[in-house]
Amino acid sequence: MLEHNKGMKYVAMPSTVTLCLALALAVAIIISASSVQEPLKVVQAQVQQQQQQPPQETFFESAIRTANETSGNQGQQQQQQQDAVTDPALNADFVQQGQMSSQPVQLREGGQPHSAIILPIRDDKAIYSGIITHQASKPVDSIVLNLLNPGNRTAIPEQFGDLDDIVRLNGQLVSINEIGSGESGSMPFTGNAIGFISDEDDPFIVTYTLTAVPENARIVNDITSILGFNASSSSDQVEEEEIEED
Q: List pLDDT tens digits, range 56-104.
A: 666 656 766 776 676 555 555 545 544 446 899 999 999 999 999 999 9
**What local confidence, expressed as pLDDT, does residue 19 receive?**
66
Taking a C-beta distance cutoff of 8 angstroms, is the pair 169, 145 a contact?
A: yes
With residues binned 3-state (H G I as helix, E B as strand, rest as coil), the percentages for the chain, rounded to 5, are 40, 30, 25
Domains of the chain, residue spans: 1-53, 56-85, 89-218
Q: Please, which pLDDT band fits residue 243 given cuts at 50, 70 and 90? A: very low
- Is residue 111 a contact partner of residue 202, using CB atoms and an 8 Å limit? no
- Residue 199: the pLDDT is 80
Contact in structure between 220 and 133 (CB atoms under 8 Å): no
What CATH number labels 89-218? 2.60.120
**103 close to 115: Cβ distance less than 8 angstroms:** yes
CA distance 128 to 6: 126
> What is the pLDDT, as a whole number, of residue 170?
82
CB-based contact 124:216 (threshold 8 Å): yes
Give percent above pLDDT 90 in the chain: 38
The pLDDT of residue 16 is 67
Reported as a pLDDT band with limits 50, 70 and 90, residue 2 is very low
Which tens digit of pLDDT belongs to each residue from 5-58? 444 444 445 566 666 666 767 766 766 655 555 555 665 666 676 666 656 666
Please write the tens of the pLDDT for every residue from 147-184.
987 655 566 777 777 777 888 888 888 999 999 999 99
DSSP character at residue 108 = B
- pTM summary value: 0.58
Q: Write out pLDDT tens, residues 182-238.
A: 999 999 999 999 999 998 788 999 999 999 999 999 988 887 787 777 666 665 554
